[in-house]
Chain A
Amino acid sequence: MKHYLLSIYQPDGPPPPPDILEPIMRDVNEVIREMKAAGALVFGGGLYPASTATVLTFKDGKMLTTDGPYIEGKEHLGGFDIIQAPDLDAALEWGRKLARAITLPIEVRPFQHNG
């Protein structure tokens, strides 16, 4: 089994109104339930907005603490799931299910070491 990171890229700004968000969250939770039932989900969850991030930089022997996020942009990591899958095709299949449910782009990336 290999481990993959499924990153959810989310536009900054307020979340969509409840009548749009609620059915999306229902679908997403259904995919998460399915991942758990299949034993694929290792860990995952949604993040607070990027404005809540703090960046630590160690440079020239000094630690710098600054207001985040590290990369400015219109989109940020909004949440992630770590899954285990036999190969990329299986991981992509979970990614597709998640992308369909969440209606946001999903990036699938392999971990270096197999757990």
Chain B
Amino acid sequence: MALSQADIARIFRAEYGRAVAVLTRAFGNIDTAEEAVQDAFATAIERWPKDGPPPSPAGWIITTARNRAIDRLRKDSSRQERHEQAVLMQSKEPIDEDDPVHDDRLRLIFTCCHPSLATNAQVALTLRLLGGLTTPEIAKAFLIPEVTLAQRLVRAKGKIRDAGIPYRVPEASELPARLVPVLAVLYLIFNEGYAATSGTGLTRGELCTEAIRLTRVLLSELPDELEIQGLLALMLLSDARRSARVDCDGQLVLLRDQDRSRWDPTPTLEGLRLVQRCLRHNRPGPYQIQAAINAAHAIAAHTDETDWAQIVRLYDQLLAIQPTPVVALNRAVAVAEVDGPQAALQLIDALTAELDRFYLFHAIRADLLRRLDRNEHAAASYRNAIERCENEAEKEFLKRRLAELS
């Protein structure tokens, strides 16, 4: 079987997080670990097409990277620090690649999402070190200059090294608090892919896929954490609707107008099963509740069969845990289906001061006004929404709605 460079790159990307995690523990330094995996990649490109892929690619990558790193450290041992690392490496027992290394990946997740790092640095580190995405890939996905992203990564890794951010799984007592930024980062990556805040395309699916993969990794490490299950369910249920969210012209289609036969049944079923499992434990958290809301949509075969009263109750629960204006806004959308648009409008108007800058606030307000036949006010709200919206596909949708009013 002839392996192309792209095939090898794919294998490396799948194993990148594991390899960097194991090697970071061995070397006590993320940069050394990354360089070593890069060296192993160069070796693989030379050998794998001739010899075929090794039986355990992960094991091969880790062993090769480790040996190349030791060579490099020996050659470069003029620098005292590196010399010490080389000594340290030789004194350590060899890394057994069959050993369960899951703890290392978990350590790396908590290091990347350490609360002392800025959120955008947490996101970049997680995608780079655990996801194995390249700097240009991440920069492109987030529509930021490559130089900016590269600097962000260098700065974050510098802080990990210099401030002494530990490479350790938090103790059980700290775990719930430390999981909060980890889940937030994964959800942010998913949302950036799902709702692309700016640019022309509506979805950047690779980010969604990557967020789901990383959440699966986290869940495999901490299988009893219900909020991770909830987050995974939330992502799967949303992602199942990805292709139905856009019509053949690339235009946005609202949930209630979507062709439900286009929802992907495999992730839907898995998501529903996860939600059921969470419900049995009855220890709700924000992600579990949001997943349950999505499940309520998923089980309705048609828009008219949606159990909006149940969705309002779930939003009440969410609002009690997470009393933010955005949750209140989403709750109001559900209220409109139960008590009518006038009731929802009153709830929404109370949020004006907090959400005036948010385009969705105006888009939802416009929709309610349209349903109340207050077309002039609706038009003004659509214009407010268009002014504040940065995504071209969503902007187009809002413009169409505005045109339909007159």
Contacts and interface: CB of A to CB of B under 8 A. Distances in A.
A and B are partners in one complex rather than unrelated chains: yes
Interface of A: 2, 85-89, 91-92, 109-110, 112
Contacts of B166: 86-89
B116 interface: yes
Interface stretch (B65-73, B79-87, B157-165, B372-380): B157-165
Among all A-B residue pairs, the 6 with the closest Cβ atoms: A87-B166, A87-B164, A110-B163, A88-B164, A2-B164, A88-B163
* Secondary structure call for the A interface: mixed
A62 B164 CA distance: 39
B84 to A, nearest CB: 13
A88 B163 CA distance: 6
B162 to A, nearest CB: 6
A84 to B, nearest CB: 11
B328 to A, nearest CB: 30
B116 A110 contact: no
Interface string B106-122: 00000000101000000
Contacts of A88: 114, 116, 163-166
* Secondary structure call for the B interface: loop
A89 B163 CA distance: 10
Contacts of B162: 110, 112
Interface in B92-139: 114, 116
Interface of B: 114, 116, 162-166, 168
A28 B282 CA distance: 41
8 contacts: A85-B164, A86-B164, A87-B165, A87-B166, A88-B163, A88-B164, A110-B163, A110-B164
Contacts of B165: 87-89
Contacts of A85: 164
Contacts of B168: 87, 89
A87 B166 CA distance: 6
A92 B168 CA distance: 15
Given A2-B164, A88-B166, 19 more contacts: A85-B164, A86-B164, A86-B166, A87-B164, A87-B165, A87-B168, A88-B114, A88-B163, A88-B164, A89-B165, A89-B166, A89-B168, A91-B164, A92-B116, A109-B163, A110-B162, A110-B163, A110-B164, A112-B162
A110 B165 CA distance: 10
B30 to A, nearest CB: 15
Contacts of A2: 164
Contacts of B116: 88, 92
Nearest to B167: A87
A87 B168 CA distance: 11
A89 B111 CA distance: 11
A104 to B, nearest CB: 19
Contacts of A112: 162
A115 to B, nearest CB: 13
A91 B168 CA distance: 15
Contacts of A91: 164
A91 B166 CA distance: 11
Contacts of A87: 164-166, 168
Contacts of B163: 88, 109-110
Contacts of B164: 2, 85-88, 91, 110
A43 B256 CA distance: 64
Nearest to A114: B164
A55 B217 CA distance: 54
A87 B164 CA distance: 5
A2 B166 CA distance: 12
B160 to A, nearest CB: 9
